[in-house]
Amino acid sequence: MCMNMIKENNRKLEKEIYLGNAEDIAKFILGKILVHKSPEGITKGMIVETEAYLGEKDKGSHTYNNRRTKRTEIQYKEGGYAYVYFIYGMYYCFNIVTNKAEKAEAVLIRALEPVEGLELMKARRKNDNILKLANGPGKLCTAMGITREHNGMDLCSDILYLEYPENDVEHQIEASKRINIDYAEEAKDYLLRFTIKGNKYVSI
């Protein structure tokens, strides 16, 4: 019997994982690996920082009051899809759609610790500092090569998905206020940002 016959595929997070609520998933995926298989090569990064957006009742969310537009439509699907939007004329942000259909919740991935494909990530970012390759939502999309083409993509596909880490290191979760949503009134104080405590790759 070979002890190392675990296929790479077996590590992929199951669809059911994404059907829970955004806050639970934001915490759950800390320490998991984001994988993108692009024509240029494979890049992987461990998720170290996330933010939950709760839709209807969350003034920080694009889907506050169930606002339904061409851009936000994907969030109304059931969990397990990518929500990628363009921001400030220059950057993309990568989110994971969560919960059941018509529950427009999502988890923003804010920072990664680079794991594989570091040379490709450096080239895309035009920066050699590993600490700063993916320590912010716009930066990680550049490093991973995520663009509008990935909007609406199924995260159970073989192109873009999450997997369980090979060595599941224990970590503590720290909650804090979300970043750059000063307009969100009372919602800006919600503790919906989650980081791996002490990790050097978080954005701030």
Partner DNA sequence: CGGAAGATTTCT
Partner DNA sequence: GAAATCTTCCGA
* Residue ranges binding DNA (CB under 7 A): 51, 53, 60-63, 67, 69-72, 83, 85-91, 93, 95, 106, 108, 125, 127, 132, 136-140, 179-181, 183, 203
CB of 2 to DNA, least distance (A): 42
Closer to DNA at the Cβ: 7 or 70? Answer: 70
Closer to DNA at the Cβ: 46 or 106? Answer: 106
Identify the sign of the CA torsion 70, 95, 114, 178. positive
CB of 64 to DNA, least distance (A): 9
Contacts by residues 163-169 (CB-CB < 8 Å, ≥ 24 positions apart)? 163/8, 163/11, 163/12, 163/13, 163/32, 163/33, 163/35, 164/11, 164/13, 164/32, 164/33, 165/31, 165/32, 165/33, 165/46, 166/11, 168/31, 169/31
Closer to DNA at the Cβ: 14 or 182? Answer: 182
CB of 115 to DNA, least distance (A): 18
Q: Tell the residue number behind the tokens 């979760």, with chain if given.
A: 173
Closer to DNA at the Cβ: 9 or 69? Answer: 69
